[in-house]
């Protein structure tokens, strides 16, 4: 180590569990952080500060102003930039010695193996189930430790999947039905909760890289921010797991969107806002449903629309008549597509999604409010 490094990492060197040998190990190691968002921000910042030699950031998104409440890799001036570029700049400012690699792509079956292969360990900061299952499977196949966490509203969980000691599929063999678990955009999230779990991800990553302490690999750590309590559940490898079990049946990437119920051969029709408006004028029997959250509805909504937030659709489906057409709208068309798919699965036969959502509706100058 250089004199500069001896000074920078002095507090690590003072720890017998790290010392010079441990710090040199960190400097020679590499971590892939998937998702430069809420969890990936604190995790990657602490890993860069700790002197992990090479850090990869995977994220296809651009910084949105609504990210800034929790994604501390990015700042106000970064809005509109690629998250990987904005995040890499932040990490380089914190520790110029760290090599930061930018992967501005969406992780899919075709690219995940090649990216994950290049790193010693993976930190999971993804926000959707298809990528979560894909990343899990790829880490099992490549024998990479996966430091996992997820956060929503006021609750969080974290664990570490070490090769041969179980995986995400052992714990959650099946994804929840589509639409059941809201995204952070729908359900909301306390910003600081990202730090509450992202920082321990960095801790577990450092422990795993150094092989010190008791890894979180036999427990699922649960945190309830409102109650202010931590607890942990024992977890173990499932010998029948289709990916990491004794006789695995899944040996290569599957269609994860399909597995998570997000890409059925859709029977949903889609129309642009202008066409949707024409349909509504021509057929008073159409049930027009806005599946956004109440606060979004209050800001602006299409005239004559009924509010049923996506998360409430399963419970309130009885309010809609299966024999009449349904037209679903949300902000941009994504959530309403989930609602349409759900309605089809419940026996509705005439279901139409409004592409471009309320945003398009307003931009086209169609009637609002009321
Ligand atoms: Zn498993």
Every domain range in the chain assigned CATH 3.40.50.720: 3-259
Is 241 an active-site residue? no
Q: Which residues contact 110 (CB under 8 A, 6 or more apart)?
A: 253
Centre of ligand 1 from the C-alpha of residue 176, in Å:
17
The C-alpha angle 124, 184, 336, rounded to 5 degrees, equals: 120
Centre of ligand 1 from the C-alpha of residue 28, in Å:
29
Centre of ligand 1 from the C-alpha of residue 41, in Å:
27
CATH number, domain 3-259, options 3.40.50.720, 3.30.420.40, 3.40.50.2300, 3.50.50.60: 3.40.50.720
Q: What is the largest CA-CA distance in the chain?
A: 78
> What phi and psi, each to the nearest 5 degrees, are found at residue 243?
-110, -45
Q: Which two tokens stand for residue 55?
A: 């850090």
Q: Which two tokens stand for residue 53?
A: 């030699």
Query: How distant is the alpha carbon of residue 112 from its chain centre?
Result: 15
What pLDDT score does 260 carry? 86
User: Considering the entire predicted model, what is its pTM?
Assistant: 0.73
C-alpha–C-alpha distance, residues 70 and 193, integer Å: 8
> What phi and psi, each to the nearest 5 degrees, are found at residue 104?
-80, 60
The C-alpha angle 72, 75, 81, rounded to 5 degrees, equals: 110
What pLDDT score does 127 carry? 86
C-alpha–C-alpha distance, residues 343 and 36, integer Å: 34
Centre of ligand 1 from the C-alpha of residue 241, in Å:
5
Centre of ligand 1 from the C-alpha of residue 202, in Å:
23
Of 193, 209, 186, 119, which Cα lies nearest the Cα of 149?
193
Centre of ligand 1 from the C-alpha of residue 169, in Å:
5
DSSP of 237-289: --TT-TTTSSS-S--S---HHHHTTS-S----EEE-HHHHHHHHHH-TT-EEE
CATH number, domain 269-363, options 3.40.50.620, 3.30.420.40, 3.50.50.60, 3.40.250.10: 3.40.250.10
C-alpha–C-alpha distance, residues 28 and 18, integer Å: 14
What pLDDT score does 265 carry? 57
Of 131, 196, 203, 138, which Cα lies nearest the Cα of 167?
138
Going residue by residue through the chain, which has 370 residues, state the pLDDT in tens, using 9 for 90 and above.
999 999 999 999 999 999 999 999 999 999 999 999 999 999 999 999 999 999 999 999 999 999 999 999 999 999 999 999 999 999 999 999 999 999 999 898 989 999 999 999 999 999 889 999 999 999 999 999 999 999 988 999 999 999 999 999 999 998 887 777 777 677 788 999 999 999 999 999 999 999 999 999 999 999 999 999 999 999 999 999 999 999 999 999 998 988 888 765 567 888 999 999 999 999 999 999 999 999 999 999 999 999 999 999 988 999 999 999 999 999 999 999 999 988 988 888 899 999 989 999 999 999 998 6
Centre of ligand 1 from the C-alpha of residue 245, in Å:
6
Instruction: State the catalytic residue, choosing from 170, 244, 330, 340.
Output: 330
C-alpha–C-alpha distance, residues 79 and 66, integer Å: 9
Of 112, 150, 155, which Cα lies nearest the Cα of 134?
112
**Quick one: DSSP state of residue 59?**
-
Every domain range in the chain assigned CATH 3.40.250.10: 269-363
What pLDDT score does 152 carry? 86
Is 184 an active-site residue? yes
Of 210, 188, 165, 171, which Cα lies nearest the Cα of 25?
210
Instruction: Count Cβ atoms below 10 Å from residue 320 Cβ, excluding itself.
Output: 17
Q: Which two tokens stand for residue 123?
A: 């930190």
């Amino acid at each position: 180590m250089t004199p500069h490094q001896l000074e920078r990492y002095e507090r690590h060197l003072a720890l017998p569990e790290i010392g010079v040998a441990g710090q040199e190990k960190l400097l020679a190691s590499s971590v892939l952080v998937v998702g430069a968002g809420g969890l990936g921000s604190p995790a990657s910042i602490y890993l860069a500060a700790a002197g992990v030699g090479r850090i990869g950031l995977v994220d296809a998104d651009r910084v949105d102003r609504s990210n800034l409440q929790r994604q501390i890799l990015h700042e106000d001036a970064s809005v509109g930039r690629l998250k990987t570029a904005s995040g890499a700049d932040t990490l380089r400012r914190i520790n110029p010695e760290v090599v930061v690699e930018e992967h501005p792509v969406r992780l899919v079956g075709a690219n995940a193996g090649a990216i994950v292969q290049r790193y010693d360990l993976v930190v999971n900061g993804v926000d959707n189930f298809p990528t979560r299952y894909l990343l899990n499977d790829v880490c099992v196949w490549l024998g990479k430790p996966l430091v996992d966490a997820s956060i929503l509203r006021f609750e969080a969980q974290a664990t570490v999947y070490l090769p041969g000691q179980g995986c995400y599929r052992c714990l959650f063999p099946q994804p929840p039905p589509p639409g059941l678990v809201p995204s952070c955009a729908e359900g909301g999230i306390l910003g600081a909760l990202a730090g509450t779990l992202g920082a321990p991800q960095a801790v577990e990553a450092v422990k795993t890289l150094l092989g010190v302490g008791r890894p979180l690999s036999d427990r699922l750590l649960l945190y309830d921010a409102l109650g202010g309590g931590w607890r942990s559940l024992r977890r173990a490898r499932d010998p029948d797991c289709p990916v990491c079990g004794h006789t695995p049946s899944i040996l290569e990437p599957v269609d994860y969107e399909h597995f998570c119920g997000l890409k059925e051969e859709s029977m949903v029709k889609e129309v642009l806002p202008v066409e949707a408006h024409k349909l509504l004028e021509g057929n008073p029997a159409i049930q027009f449903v806005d599946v956004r959250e109440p606060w979004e509805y209050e800001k602006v909504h299409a005239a004559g629309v009924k509010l049923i937030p996506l998360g409430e659709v399963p419970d309130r489906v009885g309010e809609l008549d299966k024999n009449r057409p349904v037209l679903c709208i949300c902000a941009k068309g994504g959530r309403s597509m989930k609602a349409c798919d759900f309605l089809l699965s419940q026996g509705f036969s005439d279901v139409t999604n409004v592409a471009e959502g309320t945003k398009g509706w307003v931009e086209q100058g169609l009637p609002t409010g009321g």
